[in-house]
Structure formats: structure tokens, C-alpha cells
Structure 1
Amino acid sequence: MFRVIRRAWRYMVFALSGRLDELSDPRIQIEQAIQEAKEQHQRLTQQAAAVIGNERELEMRLARSLEETGKLQANARQAILLAEQSRAAGDERKALSYEDSARAFASRLVAAETAMQDAQLMHERAAQASGQARAAVENNAMALQKKIAERMRLLSQLDQAKMQEQLNKAMGDLSGLAPAGDTPTMDAVREKIEKRYARSLGEAELTSNSVEARMIEVERASIDVEGAARLEAIRDSLGLNKKPEVES
């Protein structure tokens, strides 16, 4: 039973995820991916800064250790010289005191040199880690720039896809391939107009062949003949139709 419930849950999660991907706006998804890449780069930069800061701290500690080692070595040398000078002057007690100081400086010098070696080893490791961190930041910065450039390309491609979809829809409407809706297609309008035009031509043909049309045509011809005769009479009254006399 538990296995069935788990399988059903996984199916629901997969189905909802697929539906969400279908409904998601690609532009928003692109911006989300870029924002995630920027945040990841920022986290990586902060981690690299901490690594580089640790290198700098160890470098300063190593410098102090070198300085302290140099001072202890100089003090030990000075104590030995003073002991030799006191012994040469016949002051054995003072010479022994300087020798005790020299041994103390030498002991501290050994401890300082050990600490300095440890500091050098830690600094070398930190320098190596710092170099890797710098390289990681540079590589990630290049990858981020590529993603930003890819974003511009994808957004441009998305706009072209939307424009092409609108063009395809418009061409589909013009070609009559669009699904039926409230707005008629051009084919439907053209078919309606052609049907009305053909009907009007048929009615005109029937009207022209009717008895009434022929009677009107005869009457119009009679009127035209009478009009021509009247025009000739007017011309005769004006003397325009007289034939010119022929000279003998």
C-alpha cells in the first residue's frame, strides 16, 4: 500500500511539474536562471575572498615570525659577544650571565624557527588554495558572461518565435485555415459575396429576357426614331439640309 501511495505521489509531482513547465513564461525562466547564476557567482566570490584573506593573514604572520626570528638570532649573537668580552675582561660571573641569556635566546630562536616553518608551510598551502579560488572565480565569471550573452540570444529568439507565431496565425486566418469563431474568415466572406453577385447576375438575366423588358426596348427604339426625325426637321427649318447647287 505504501509503495502504491509513493508511486502515485511521484506521478502527481511529475505531472504537476510538467504542467508548470508548460505554463511558465520562458522570459521569466531565463531571468530566474541568470539571477541564480549571479547569486552563485557572488557566493563563490565571497568564499574566494575568505580564502585569499586567510592567505594574507598567514603572510603577515609569517612576516612577524621572520622578524622575531631575526631579532632572537641577533640577541643570541650579541649575548655571546658580550659573554666573550666579559670573560676577556676577567669578569667570569658576568660572562656566565650573558651565556645564560644567550642560551635563553637560542631556545626561543629554535621555537620561533619551528613556528616559522609551520607558518611557511601553511602559507604555501594557503597560496595554492588562493590561486585555485582566483581561477574558480575567473572561470565562473566567464561562464556567467556566456550565460548573459546566451540570455540575449534566447530573448531575441523568443521574440522572433512570438512574431512568427503571430504571423502564422494571421496567415492561417487569411487562408481560411483558422478555426471557426466569432470572426468570419476571408474565404467565408468571399464565398458569401460571390453567391450574392451570382444571384444578382441571374436576376438581371431573367429580367432582360422578360416581355416587359422587350416592350421597354421597343418603346425606347421608337422614341429614338422619332427623335432622329425631329432633329432632321429642325435641320431642314434652319436650311442646313439643302444640297448645294451645281454650277453648269
Structure 2
Amino acid sequence: MANPFSKGWKYLMQSFDSAIDENADPKVQIEQAANAAKEQHNAITRQAAEIIGQKKQLEIKLNRLRETQADQQAKTKTALQMADKAAAEGDSAKAQEFNNTAEALASQLVATEQQLADLTTQYGAAEQAAKQAEEEQRRSEARLEEQLAEVNRLRAQVDQANMQEMSAQAMDTIGQFNADDSVPTLDGVRDKIERRYATALGQQELAESTATGAEGVMAEIEAGQAGADVAATSKLAEIRAAMEKEAATAGELTPGTESGGAQGVEAGQSDASAKPEHD
């Protein structure tokens, strides 16, 4: 049965890691990923350098063993030549001594050749490992270049996202500003001006209409008055003609008659002046 405390601890750690990932700064995470990629490449490079160094070290040993082998071969040949010369001269003791020396040198040469064979095998494996390490280091370098290019692209994308978020926040802030009620708006001022202008136009139109009507009434009154004057003048002319006719018929008028005639004239004038008013 699983330990509940261990299970709960793992759950809390996983939840904590998830919360960190959600709230972490993308730029920091990008830098962490870039540093991890660089560190991995550096580790591969160091490992490749060590493998190549081992190959170089084996190569140095091989060269030294080859020199030792050549020297031992030369000394062995010299010892054999000296032994043969001593034997030819009849000096068997010295010949035996040179033969013993040649045998010792031959034993050393065999050991050297064995070491050389083993080291050659090791060098072959080291050389193959060095080639693989070089290839892996080149692949790691190419992979690092791709990762760094991706890092630069992500950095630019993060900057663009930050700018977009700032622009969106600025737009939201602008939208929160409301118009000040204590200050008149342009629309309200325009409506007020148009209303006053329309009222003034209405007053002007009404005044012009009233003036035109008054002029028409006065013209009608003046026309009627002119007609009345013409009628009165015609009536006076008619009365004078009648009076002259009566005077010519009667001859001389008496004072009473003149007085009556004057009264008749006044009555006629009164009738003439009253007639237009009746019309």
C-alpha cells in the first residue's frame, strides 16, 4: 500500500510546480532553457575533448613504444652481431655473454611488441570514439544554434505579446474615462445654437408675414378711401349742377330762398359725407 504522506507530498509538489509554470515570467523561462541548452552543449564538448584527449594520449604512447621497439630491435641485432663475431674469433665466453644480452633484449622486445599490439587495439577504439565524439559535438553545436535562434524568436514574440497586452490595457483604461457632467458637451452646445437660430428664423418669418398683412390692409383701406372721395366729388358736382339749373329757372332768389338754399346745400353736404360711411 502506498504511503499517503509520500503520495500527498508528491501531489503538493506537482501542484506547486504547475502553479510556478503558470505564473512564471516567460522571459525567465526562456533564459533558463537557453542556459540549459548551453550547459548541455558545453558538457558534450568537454566529453568530446576528453575522448579526443585519450586518443592523443594513446597516440603519444604508441609513438614512444614504436621508438622503444626500434631501439630494442637495433640493440638485439647488435648483440647478435657481437656474439657471432666473438664466436668467429673463438671467444666462446664473450660470445655467450652477447647471446645472453641478445636474449634479454629479445624478451624486452617481445614485451614491447605485445604492449604495442594492445595499445594499437586501444588506439583504434579510441580513434573511433573520438570520431563519434567529434560528430556528436558538431550535432550539438548545430542544435545549440537552432535553439538560440528559437530563443531569439521567442524573446521577440514575448516582447510583442507584452506590447499587445499594454496596448489592450491602455485601451481599457481609455474606455473607463466618462464625460464630465459639469462641462457642456459639443453636441449639447450645437443643439442649443441650432435651437436659438431656428427660433430667430421663426420670429423673422412671423414679422415679415405680419408686415405684409398690415400693408395689404392699409392698401385696401386707402383704396376704399380713394373710392369714397371720388364718389363725394361726383355728388358735389351733381348738386352744384342742379343748383345752377334752379337758379337759372327761378331768376333772382329771395333772402329766405337763399337761406333755404344754403340749408339745402349743407344738407346735401351732410348726405354726401354720410354716404361713403354707409357704403
Separation in 2 of the partners of 1:195 and 1:143? 64
Separation in 1 of the partners of 2:95 and 2:190? 140
Separation in 1 of the partners of 2:10 and 2:106? 72
Find the counterpart in structure 1 of residue 72 from structure 2.
72
Q: Which amino acid aligns with 1:150?
A: E
Separation in 1 of the partners of 2:195 and 2:94? 147
Among 162, 172, 177, the alignment partner of 1:184 is 177
Is the alpha carbon distance of 1:172 and 1:67 closer, same or farther for their aligned partners in structure 2, counting shifts above 3 Å?
Answer: same
Residue 197 (str. 1) matches residue 188 (str. 2):
yes
Separation in 1 of the partners of 2:73 and 2:194? 128
Find the counterpart in structure 2 of residue 166 from structure 1.
166
Write the deviation string for residues 112-163 of structure 1: whole angstroms up to 9, x where unpaired.
1101111111111111111121111111111111111111111112222223
Separation in 1 of the partners of 2:184 and 2:14? 53
Separation in 1 of the partners of 2:101 and 2:162? 88
Find the counterpart in structure 2 of residue 226 from structure 1.
none
Separation in 1 of the partners of 2:87 and 2:7? 94
Separation in 1 of the partners of 2:91 and 2:138? 67
Separation in 1 of the partners of 2:184 and 2:159? 38
Separation in 1 of the partners of 2:27 and 2:125? 44
Q: TM-score, normalised by structure 1?
A: 0.69
Find the counterpart in structure 1 of residue 85 from structure 2.
85
* 1:123-138 equivalence runs, <5 A: 123-138=123-138
How much has 1:55 moved relative to structure 2? 1.2
How much has 1:9 moved relative to structure 2? 3.1
Residue 139 (str. 1) matches residue 130 (str. 2):
no
Separation in 2 of the partners of 1:163 and 1:94? 98
Q: Which amino acid aligns with 1:80?
A: L
Is the alpha carbon distance of 1:2 and 1:123 closer, same or farther for their aligned partners in structure 2, counting shifts above 3 Å?
Answer: closer
How much has 1:62 moved relative to structure 2? 0.9
Separation in 2 of the partners of 1:72 and 1:162? 77
Q: TM-score, normalised by structure 2?
A: 0.62
Write the deviation string for residues 77-108 of structure 1: whole angstroms up to 9, x where unpaired.
11111111111112122111111111111111
Find the counterpart in structure 1 of residue 50 from structure 2.
50
How much has 1:13 moved relative to structure 2? 2.4
Q: Which amino acid aligns with 1:19?
A: A
Which sections of structure 1, spanning at least 5 residues, go unmatched? 177-182, 223-248
* 1:1-248 equivalence runs, <5 A: 3-170=3-170, 183-184=176-177, 197=188, 201=192, 204=195, 208=199
Write the deviation string for residues 145-186 of structure 1: whole angstroms up to 9, x where unpaired.
111111111111222222333344455667x5xxxxxx325x
Separation in 2 of the partners of 1:120 and 1:203? 108
User: Larger Cα Rg: Structure 1 or Structure 2?
Assistant: 2
Q: Secondary structure at 1:90's aligned position in 2?
A: coil
Is the alpha carbon distance of 1:79 and 1:161 closer, same or farther for their aligned partners in structure 2, counting shifts above 3 Å?
Answer: same
Separation in 2 of the partners of 1:27 and 1:204? 61
Separation in 2 of the partners of 1:156 and 1:167? 16
How much has 1:28 moved relative to structure 2? 1.1
How much has 1:32 moved relative to structure 2? 1.0
Identity of aligned residues (%): 33
Q: Which amino acid aligns with 2:79?
A: A
Separation in 1 of the partners of 2:65 and 2:157? 61
Separation in 2 of the partners of 1:114 and 1:8? 62
Separation in 2 of the partners of 1:3 and 1:80? 81
Is the alpha carbon distance of 1:6 and 1:204 closer, same or farther for their aligned partners in structure 2, counting shifts above 3 Å?
Answer: farther
